[in-house]
Amino acid sequence: LEADGRVAAVTADHTVDEDCEARAKAAGGEVRCAEVGGITARRVFLPGQPFPGIMMGRSLGDLVAHQLGLLAEPELALGLALPHGGAVLLATDGVWEHMATEEAAALCTARVADGAAPAEAARELVEAAQARWSPLQSDDITAVLVLADGAAAGAA
């Protein structure tokens, strides 16, 4: 994020594309379109099972997903300039499924400008995202905000 809250860079979503589908099938999984939590997407499943139903091609720490061909290696971007006063906002798909990037950036930037610690801004972002999910269905919702000047970082 720029110091004024503008979004400077966005990573690619790792959806279940053709490469992911080929890896899943080669590992014995299946890909089908399904609705979970109000979101319809191509998802990876154990054959004939209703789980894991993951709708991304990369997952850190999901051992079943890894057995089904999903990648565990993160995508890295090197050489990104972080101007003084800017920030890095990392969040799971539980945030991004119901909140636009610009909205999340504006929320965090405004809270930090009002004097909130990065952890507090990240917590409020998580709470705002959680409020948009159905009470009976939710996803993992995690956010980390790191100020580029190195003064502070916070996670929720």
SS (H, E, C) the chain: CCCCCCCCCCCCCCECCHHHHHHHHHCCCEEEEEEECCEEEEEEECCCCCCEEECECECCCCHHHHHCCCECCCCCCCCCCCCCCCEEEEECHHHHCCCCHHHHHHHHHHHHHCCCCHHHHHHHHHHHHHCCCCCCCCCCCCEEEEECCCCCEEEC
What is the pLDDT at residue 39?
A: 84
Q: Convert the pLDDT of each residue in 99-133 to its tens digit.
A: 999 999 999 999 999 999 999 999 999 999 999 98
What is the pLDDT at residue 114?
A: 94
What is the pLDDT at residue 8?
A: 86
**Mean of per-residue pLDDT scores for the chain:** 88
